[in-house]
Amino acid sequence: MTHSIELPDDTVTLAAGSAMPLLGFGTWQIKGDEAVRAASAALEAGYRHLDTATVYGNEGEVGRALAESGVPRDEVFLTTKCPPSQAGNELDTLKASLDLLQTDHVDLWLIHWPGDGSSNNDIWRAFGQARESGLAREIGVSNFDSALLDEVTAATGYTPAVNQIEWSPLLYDAATVADHRDRGIVLEGYSALRGGTLDHPTIVEIAEREGRTAAQVIIRWHLQHDFVVIPKSVNPERIRSNADVGGFALSDDDMAALDTLGKG
């Protein structure tokens, strides 16, 4: 028998009014049956936010896990992403994602990374149409810097709801946080458990003192900063323990110590 876990219930309200759970489940590099198993385990553990992408090649598996989970579609926040190579073909790409995901809309659709030159503006215009038509409830970008965020906003009148970027205590930068907050753009982090975070002595020390895992400390740090965090795992125990972060809080001192691991 598995012990019960305490999930966080923190959400952030996005530009068009959707409530996005701050904790989601990442699915990069999980394919085939393993993707069905992992996404099913995440839903079973209580995650209500799944992150996939056209280029992950697992939207069909994520969709199958969701359909078979019995969890109502409207209780799950579903993100997918469009590669910029699909410029000119954006809506067909989204419709293919929707078919695979077995749904009539995604909650968030992201430009996966910036395209060349001014192509982002055209892609972003198509994203605006997808939002108007309801195929994507919210639209955003990934791997954009603040100059690019401003460029697409000025060109189209649509502000990205979210920017998904690589992020962790080791990458914390108050200026980047301010860049997003000033623009009303939610900062969503990825690869929080990579780049040496799990072995960092400060993080390990806090984890040991609190009787938590390093991953839980990192995930909890995101939640207390109102950053979205989407840990990935194929291991059912880790899937559960990464979500078991609702029942403790990091002190102000520990939050400050973690902030100093980045640029402060």
Whose Cβ is closer to ligand NAP: residue 132's or residue 166's? 166
Q: Say how far apart CA 247 and CA 188 lie, in whole Å.
A: 22
Where are the alpha helices (H) located in 86-235, listed in sequence order?
A: 90-101, 119-133, 146-156, 174-183, 201-210, 214-225
- Catalytic residue, from 47, 56, 158, 172: name it: 56
Residue from 142, 163, 176, 224 in contact with ligand NAP (CB under 6 A):
142
Question: What number of chain residues touch ligand NAP (CB under 6 A)?
Answer: 26
Q: Under the criterion CB under 6 A, does residue 65 sit at the interface with ligand NAP? A: no
**CA angle 260–51–255, rounded 5-degree value:** 20
Side chain identity, residue 103: T
Side chain identity, residue 154: A
Nearest distance from C-beta of residue 97 to ligand NAP, angstroms: 14
How far lies 133's CA from each of 105, 136, 169, 228, in Å?
Answer: 10, 8, 38, 26
Q: Under the criterion CB under 6 A, does residue 232 sit at the interface with ligand NAP? A: yes
Q: Under the criterion CB under 6 A, does residue 120 sit at the interface with ligand NAP? A: no
Whose Cβ is closer to ligand NAP: residue 113's or residue 121's? 113
Residue from 143, 153, 156, 159 in contact with ligand NAP (CB under 6 A):
143
Concerning whether 47 is annotated as a catalytic residue, the answer is no
Q: Under the criterion CB under 6 A, does residue 198 sit at the interface with ligand NAP? A: yes
CB 240, CB 5: distance < 8 Å: yes
Residue owning tokens 């895992």: 213
Q: Under the criterion CB under 6 A, does residue 190 sit at the interface with ligand NAP? A: yes
Exposure class string for 189-221: b at 16+ Cβ within 10 A, else e: bbbbbeeebbebebbeebbeebebbbbbbbbbb
Cα(first)–Cα(last) distance of the chain, in Å? Answer: 42
Q: Under the criterion CB under 6 A, does residue 85 sit at the interface with ligand NAP? A: no
Whose Cβ is closer to ligand NAP: residue 89's or residue 235's? 235
Applying the rule CB under 6 A, the residues between 93 and 112 that interact with ligand NAP are 112
Q: Under the criterion CB under 6 A, does residue 213 sit at the interface with ligand NAP? A: yes
Q: Which residues bind ligand NAP (CB under 6 A)?
A: 26-28, 51, 112-113, 142-143, 164, 190-194, 198, 213, 215, 230-235, 238, 241-242
Active site residues: 56
